[in-house]
A and B are shown apart, each in its own frame.
Chain A
Amino acid sequence: MENTVVKIDSLVKRYGDLIALDHFSLEIKEGEIFGLLGPNGSGKTTTINCLLSLLAFDKGDIKIFGKEMTPTSYDIKKDIGVIMQNVAVFDELTVYENIDYFCGLYITDKAERKKCVDEAVRFVGLEDFLKFRPKKLSGGLLRRLNIACGIAHKPKLIILDEPTVAVDPQSRNKILEGIQELNARGATVIYTSHYMEEVEKICTRIAIMDKGKKIAEGTKDQLKRMIKNTETITVEVLGLTDEVISQIAGLPHIYDHSYDGSLLTVFCSGGKHNLIRVMEVLQKNDLSFGRVYTELPTLNDVFLEVTGKALRDKED
């Protein structure tokens, strides 16, 4: 598993005055499901487009399978499968014709291609929709068609750019399972998303990016260990006085807190029994409280701590 599949070195991409990628570097090993996590506009798609030589970039170096990637690197391209952020299929062709077309750009032998297309159809579960035009498919099915078009030729490296945007939960799970299955069959996967749950669920290694820069990288456990937050406690409680709040703030291992009149949030770093100690303070002051829960750190906390803002926008 030590073979490097993708190596991006100090990539710089400008759109006019905007620096979309700022000395961005990445190394992806064979067999990984590599997650590229970042909010909208952080440069994920730009990274993918540069990686695929679809965009010219200003500086940097890109190697795939140990060879330099250029627009004419057809020997490299034949082993890559791409699923773009937007569904890119012919509205005029049927489901089957679409998959056959894109597969045929890689595999010219008819019999072999048919086998590949049939397999891809079964893989994404579109058997009942072969004669449908894309316009007749639901959002989830359309995404699956988009994926089938990208993987039918059995690529060694599969790149998926936000493949689950605007997909119902059921289809989303099917897609995530499918990606894991493809990886189990031997494909290296690059997966971009702004949904941290997805990335946490399937990715073996993750890079978090913001404003064209890589701000953290590692397995999800490594990433979470990088930050001081280990536990976040939330309590529904009314009428806390400043006195009580400062008592809680003074407890050990608590480094931050917030209260909005009904919801108390306490951030802890290390230590055990933090929740019990918070409860004790409330009981001592004869305060009755509603729901109480504690959360382990998420990638969102990682992002929050490194950038000072939440990963997911409210509207998502």
Chain B
Amino acid sequence: MQVFKAFMKVMRTRLPSILPYVIVFMIISVMISTVGGDEERFTAEEMKICIFDEDDTPQSHALAEFIAKGNELVELENDDDVILDSLYYASVDMVLTIKDGYAERLAAGETEDLFTTKHIHDSYAIALMDQLLSEYVVTVDGYMAGGQDFDQAVESAIGTLSKETEVTLVTEDSTMSKSEYFEGFFRYLPYILISIMLNGLCPVLIVMNRKDLRYRTNCSSIKVSSVSVQTFLASAVFVGAIWLIFVVAGVILNGGLFVGTAWLAVLNCLIFAMISALIAMLLSSFNVSDNVVGVITQVISLGMSFLCGVFVPMEMLSSGVLSAARFLPAYWYVRANSMISGTEHFDGSKVLLYMGIELGFAAALAVITLLIRRMKYNRADSVNA
């Protein structure tokens, strides 16, 4: 495994040039996930709520019970200082006071000013809770307007609203469609993968392919086929490792293992990692200098990313750009990814078709690379190509 080991040692010297890509991408992903992931926290995670029921009627009890479902109830002394402290130290997220006369006024069709809420840390979850409360009163009001009496209306409203929450929960868990970061995470990956493969893998392959080193290796008693196999194996290990890093990062940012069709995104990502590696192999067939590799890397990674909707959503690109983008693998990656993440309507057979097209690009790249290498080595009169 001499060649494999040497490959890895050369790769080690390239790490400083690929690490920034990984790190910057991770930071951006974390930022996306903390902004976009709150919606999930509302449904999946509990909020600590303290309820002061000043009305103390069956109807107010029903509301308190409804709110308590899926959240953690916290008991506090009804004292401004205590409340403020608790909010400040986040031992409670929100304090809800159901005002005296709540039931009476709601029964009379009033929907405003029925309760007060207190919170310090603004969050999406709190905004949603506010929204849920106003939705609740409007729904009760609506059922009463539809002819139900007050108690019935309360029951119906609770029923409807709980079902809605459940539905949101179900859709989120199976396809993660609401998880915005998930789509973003995988959508930006083509740029990162191409950059890493061209900056990391390509220069290593160029070194391993250096004519003088190849001559020397070909003089030795190691089989030419063994050299090829070891080089290929080492490249595959590198591609696999990079892929694994992003899968693991994705799982961590996702807050748990992927479920269901989400694994298709992981597969899609592996296919694109392979395509990026093949682009690197193709480029390494021309003995280009490090600087040239850098320029070409920027052109390919940025160009393909902009044209194919990696950076900018496809809806914002002109149809001319999009029809040109069809001839680039990243376009099909993004299409597949949009479907998998639920941004577009999910169609399993189409996703597989898109991935098949990507594999077609991979095969084409492999064939072109092999042909170019054969041509080059024949020209050099080498019998050991």
Contacts and interface: CB of A to CB of B under 8 A. Distances in A.
B47 to A, nearest CB: 54
B382 A55 contact: yes
Contacts of A77: 219-221
Interface in B1-38: 2, 5-6, 9-10, 12-13
A88 interface: yes
A80 B383 CA distance: 18
Interface stretch (A98-106, A238-246, A275-283, A307-315): A98-106
Nearest to B12: A92
Interface stretch (B64-72, B142-150, B207-215, B278-286): B207-215
B383 A52 contact: no
A89 B384 CA distance: 19
B327 to A, nearest CB: 36
A54 B219 contact: yes
A145 interface: no
A86 B210 CA distance: 12
Contacts, number: 80
A289 interface: no
A167 to B, nearest CB: 18
Contacts of B222: 74, 105-106
Interface of A: 15, 49, 52-56, 71-72, 74-75, 77-78, 80, 82, 84, 86-93, 97, 101-102, 104-106, 149-150
B371 to A, nearest CB: 20
Q: Of A53, A55, A77, A105, which is in contact with the most chain B CB atoms at under 10 Å from its CB?
A: A105
Contact of A102 (B220, B224, B383): B220
B382 A82 contact: no
B223 interface: yes
Given A84-B215, A88-B215, A106 B220 contact: yes
B218 to A, nearest CB: 6
Interface in B165-222: 207, 210, 212-213, 215-222
A52 B10 CA distance: 27
Interface in B333-375: none
B383 A149 contact: no
18 contacts: A52-B218, A54-B218, A54-B384, A55-B381, A55-B382, A55-B383, A56-B382, A74-B223, A80-B219, A82-B216, A86-B212, A88-B213, A92-B13, A97-B9, A101-B5, A102-B216, A106-B221, A106-B222
